[in-house]
């Protein structure tokens, strides 16, 4: 999916919501545990309930790897289900991979060819040759970690060399590797004020913003400091939507939560004359 198509989907759905399919098997509603594949069944119901309100889904691979091979089969079924039933959904593998060149090439092939994701999150620590192999795929995206939403972000991401913080260097240097048509950046919503400075370095790029919801970030702040002429934002919410309820109506409640966020997003898109 290219940048214009993504923006068109945002306009069509009046939403820039990404739902994180962080399906912790321990949190799945009791009645689904009798199913043959409770994780897939949970995802399928969440997806059918929320798809009209979202432009992207983002399964975090840890939640599936944690169950070994059966977990990865649940994930594969989930990805296929989304591709077949909702082909205009942007599908992100939240994998935070990154390795030496020949190894990153294999990860890229895995995520883009074998599993057919639209995008994969990549960690920048190992530099250019760990990221570039992900960039050679038409219509596919690298989402590079820049400033993350967790407390540990303070440990290294603010390390400052001649006035330039590490996350700023990541934003600057990585633009030599790929353009706003093939790269996005992760910027945590818990750092919303930083978005103003970040937009000076990457005015055109899409940003994937986790941390709204359970982690406490504010959507209004994110929009205020981060929105651009093509929206330029994918705002992720995981637990606050998919685990909002654990009764038999969990999917209806998830849909309601997603709709609330989408309604707020629609208002912002109008306010900024993007729809």
Judge residue 127's burial from the number of C-beta atoms within 10 Å of its C-beta, 0-12 exposed, 13-18 middle, 19 or more buried: middle
Question: Would you count residue 220 as binding a second copy (CB under 8 A)?
Answer: no
Q: Which of 36, 87, 138, 152 binds a second copy (CB under 8 A)?
A: 152
d(CA 71, CA 42): 13
Question: Would you count residue 62 as binding a second copy (CB under 8 A)?
Answer: yes
* Inter-residue contact 134 to 109 (CB < 8 Å): no
58 is catalytic: no
Q: CA dist 26 to 29, 30, 63, 71, 214, Å?
A: 9, 9, 10, 13, 17
Question: Would you count residue 134 as binding a second copy (CB under 8 A)?
Answer: no
Q: Which of 2, 4, 31, 125 binds a second copy (CB under 8 A)?
A: 125
Residues in the chain: 275
Question: In terms of DSSP H, where are the helices of the chain?
Answer: 3-13, 38-50, 62-65, 68-85, 101-109, 128-131, 153-156, 166-174, 194-201, 219-226, 239-242, 250-271
Q: For the window 173-202, what string marks contact with a second copy as x by the rule CB under 8 A?
A: x-----------------------------
Tokens describing residue 79: 């990805």
Question: Would you count residue 204 as binding a second copy (CB under 8 A)?
Answer: no
Q: Which of 52, 128, 193, 248 binds a second copy (CB under 8 A)?
A: 128
Q: Which of positions 22-41 make contact with a second copy (CB under 8 A)?
A: 22, 24
Q: Which of 27, 77, 96, 224 is catalytic?
A: 96
Using CB under 8 A, list all residues that contact a second copy. Answer: 22, 24, 60, 62-63, 65-69, 72-73, 76, 94, 96-101, 103-104, 106-107, 109-110, 114-115, 123-131, 145, 148-157, 159-161, 166, 169-170, 173, 215
Residues tagged active-site: 96
């Amino acid at each position: 999916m290219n940048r214009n198509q993504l923006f068109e989907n945002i306009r069509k759905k009046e939403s820039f919501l990404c739902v994180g399919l962080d399906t912790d098997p321990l949190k799945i509603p009791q009645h689904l545990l009798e199913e043959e594949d409770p994780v897939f069944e949970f995802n399928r119901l969440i997806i059918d309930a929320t798809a009209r309100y979202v432009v992207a889904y983002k399964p975090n691979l840890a939640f599936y790897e944690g169950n070994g091979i059966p977990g990865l089969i649940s994930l594969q079924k989930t990805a296929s289900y989304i591709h077949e039933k909702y082909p205009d959904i942007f599908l992100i593998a939240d994998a935070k991979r990154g390795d030496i060149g020949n190894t990153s090439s294999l990860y890229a092939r895995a995520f883009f060819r074998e599993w057919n994701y639209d995008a994969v999150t990549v960690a920048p620590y190992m530099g250019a040759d760990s990221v570039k192999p992900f960039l050679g795929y038409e219509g596919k995206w690298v989402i590079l970690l820049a400033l993350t939403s967790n407390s540990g972000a303070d440990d290294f991401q603010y390390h400052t060399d001649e006035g330039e913080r590490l996350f700023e260097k990541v934003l600057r240097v990585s633009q030599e590797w790929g353009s706003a048509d093939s790269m996005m950046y992760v910027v945590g919503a818990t750092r919303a004020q930083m978005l103003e400075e970040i937009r000076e370095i990457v005015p055109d790029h899409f940003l994937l913003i986790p941390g709204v919801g359970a982690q406490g970030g504010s959507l209004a702040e994110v929009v205020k400091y981060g929105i651009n002429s093509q929206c330029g934002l994918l705002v992720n919410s995981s637990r606050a939507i998919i685990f909002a309820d654990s009764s038999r109506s969990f999917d209806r409640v998830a849909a309601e939560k997603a709709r609330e966020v989408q309604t707020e997003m629609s208002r912002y898109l109008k306010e900024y004359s993007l729809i």
